[in-house]
Chains A and B, each alone.
Chain A
Amino acid sequence: MSSTRSQLISLLEQGSLSRADAELAAQASGVLPSSGVWLRFLDRTLLILGSLALGISLVFFVAYNWFEFGRFAKFALVEAAIVLATLVYVFSRETHAIKLIHQVSLVMACLSLGALLALYGQTYQTGADPWQLFFNWALLMLPWLLLSRSSWLWLLWCGLLNISLFLWVDAYGTPRFLPNQGYTTMMWLVLALNMSFIAVWEFSSSHVGWLNNRWAIRVLGAVVTWVITTLTIGPIIDNYYTPSTLLVLFIIGGAGVYYRYRKPDLFMLALLALSVSIIALVWLADVLFLSHSDFLGSLFFMCIATLGMGTVSTVWLKRMHQQITNLKVTV
């Protein structure tokens, strides 16, 4: 659904609203905010910016004096940050005014936990692998996650597990039961991990209200789209197709059907359209340029193909946008 501002501008551009009445209409519709809206904006902005400035100031102060601190002073500092953030979380209530403080304090506690583990590893040189830092960080913050009802933290947790996977494969290589294709196998593992995150999140969001934050699922969707596109482009460029390439196309098709009919989401459909367009264009470029055909003709076909794919994608997405909007309005 369009915002009020874009609707007002639309009325002006169509000539339905006279330019002479534009300012009055903007005030009446709330596009020019009232004093109450200004107060709320300034209240939140000053709180966020002031807190951020103080927090960053503290970080800079610690960084300046870091080498002067002894081992225990460093630990005490980080642990104090965790305790303080947790206390703020426990004693702040989820009222409208300070819901933001409530959420931010727990995020700060989780980030400070990571800093503590890094400091521990750096100070005692335990010989642990880097992947263990991120994995243990994800494990230790799990209880907070379950209490928090915060999509931000769950997304951070997914990010930590992704980093752990990257570092684990980097240290030990891919598991023996998988075909050893190095980078490709690692990308398949990342794909499997993130697709399972999306599957669990989509399933849970139907039953748990606070998980129904589309933006977080869309971030994971963007990661999966990037991996899928990379996994398909590689075999095209190397001219080495495997059955797994078909599997990727099957995943794209399945995701398209799910986000078109089961849980309509325009952003996810746009990601899939982008992926399909890139794959198609890379395949076409491979066929045209590497088959030593006429260079000028190849450029011409690529230009037409790009325009065509862009147009088809945009038209289809706009049609989907209208259908999804109509569906939401009807519901």
Chain B
Amino acid sequence: MTTANQPIEMLRNTLQEKGIEVKPTPSLNASDLDSPWFVTLLSIGAGWLAAIFMTGIFILLFFDVFGNVAALLFCGIGIIGLARFILSGTPSDFRQHLALAISLLGQFLVTYAIFESKNNQFSTESSSLFMLLCLHLGLLVVMPNTLHRYVSAIAVSVCLGLLFGSLSWHQVYPAVALTLIALLTLNEFSSWFPGKILMPLAYGLALPFAFPVAYNSLLNEVIINKITHATWLLDLSMTLPLLAIVLVLVRRHKASKLVLLTAVTAAIIIGLLSIELNGIAAGCAILLLGCAHSSRALVAMGALSLLTQTSFYYYNLDTTLLIKSASLAGLGIALLIMRWVMLIKFKPRSVHSYGVQS
């Protein structure tokens, strides 16, 4: 047994002590070890850069193909198929990078073909975006590689947002995305849940909440002249997923009616305050989901979402600084009162004597 297995061995022993059967794990090698996020980021960057060069090569070699939609589609799907074939071999870092770069080239060609076909009378922007969404959802399922799944998940998130924007449904997109994130995350350990495929999707959908500037720049290209004035509906609609998350978590812990009432009241207050302080309901929801499943990625995205939305609030020209100050003071007081009530009602000693989550 290698020393790299030791941490998993401790978990295996813990589970077996509690009567849960765990079969022997194969010995780990370097490529199986959980890579830190910055190593994964390096891989993704290399893949993207190589794909740009490959796209340049393809354009130079097959320039004539770009006028023919069918040929572009055929080439694109064929190239994606080649990437799939490469990934089906023995996993290695070189294969992973090569497949990612080739797949991105194929995706670029298919995307170009889809939007080239938009120029005819049978196609609309929405239908093009829908086809693109189906492509990336398909890649999420078909490609047997975690890195590729994360890239596909980001693409799904962007396509879904743009699709909603093109249909003038951009007001409900955040609530729909938040609901999907909640559904995916809360069912992560259910027996039917294909976690390998669907959890990257949850992270991809949560990303626009953490980086709203990038997301909004993309969306604005689609929703120009489609802005409605019922923005309060958008903010209030995110209270529903937050309430649902709170109810599921309270039920999961079989908590008392008092806990249920407190949690629901807190969610409603945050939801109402989010009409003024846009986006805090979404940030709180993602933060709760992250804690509920010990997911550092979701906790970080939730925290980033809250910070970013608070910064945006300063630049909001719809209200004066005095009203913003009053809203924030109200929120701050509400949160501190919630904390005080929680510490009084739920045995203050237990707050300091809990164990540390590993």
Q: Which residues of A come within 8 Å of B, CB atoms? A: 1-26, 28-43, 45-47, 49-58, 60-61, 63-64, 96-97, 266-267, 270, 273-274, 277, 281, 295-296, 299-300, 302-303, 306-307, 309-311, 313-315, 317-319, 321-322, 325-326, 329-330
Contact between A64 and B57, CB atoms less than 8 A apart: no
Contact between A10 and B342, CB atoms less than 8 A apart: no
Contact between A311 and B21, CB atoms less than 8 A apart: no
Residues from chain B with a CB closer than 8 A to the CB of A325 are 3-4, 33
- Docked Cα-Cα span, A13 to B343, in Å, equals 40
Residues from chain A with a CB closer than 8 A to the CB of B39 are 266, 270, 314, 317-318, 321
Chain B, range 326-358, C-beta contacts under 8 Å to A? 326-329, 331-336, 338-339, 342-343, 346, 350-355, 357-358
Residues from chain B with a CB closer than 8 A to the CB of A20 are 191
Residues from chain B with a CB closer than 8 A to the CB of A63 are 321
In the assembled complex, 7 residue pairs joining A and B whose CB atoms fall closer than 8 Å, in A order, are A4-B11, A49-B332, A303-B50, A307-B101, A314-B93, A315-B93, A315-B94
Residues from chain A with a CB closer than 8 A to the CB of B335 are 46, 49-50, 53
Q: Nearest-CB distance from B141 to chain A (Å)?
A: 16
Q: Nearest-CB distance from B67 to chain A (Å)?
A: 20
Q: Which residue of A lies closest to B49 (CB)?
A: A306
Q: Nearest-CB distance from A69 to chain B (Å)?
A: 14
- Docked Cα-Cα span, A254 to B53, in Å, equals 33
- Docked Cα-Cα span, A291 to B94, in Å, equals 29
- Docked Cα-Cα span, A8 to B6, in Å, equals 13
B127 located at the interface, meaning its Cβ lies under 8 Å from any Cβ of chain A in the complex? no
Q: Which residue of B lies closest to A311 (CB)?
A: B94
Residues from chain A with a CB closer than 8 A to the CB of B43 are 310, 314
Residues from chain B with a CB closer than 8 A to the CB of A35 are 253, 255
Contact between A5 and B50, CB atoms less than 8 A apart: no
Q: Nearest-CB distance from A92 to chain B (Å)?
A: 16
- Docked Cα-Cα span, A53 to B108, in Å, equals 44
- Docked Cα-Cα span, A170 to B259, in Å, equals 59
Return the contact of A96 from the options B196, B253, B331, B352 (Cβ within 8 A). Answer: B352
Residues from chain B with a CB closer than 8 A to the CB of A21 are 20-21
Residues from chain A with a CB closer than 8 A to the CB of B320 are 64
Residues from chain B with a CB closer than 8 A to the CB of A306 are 46, 49-50, 53, 101
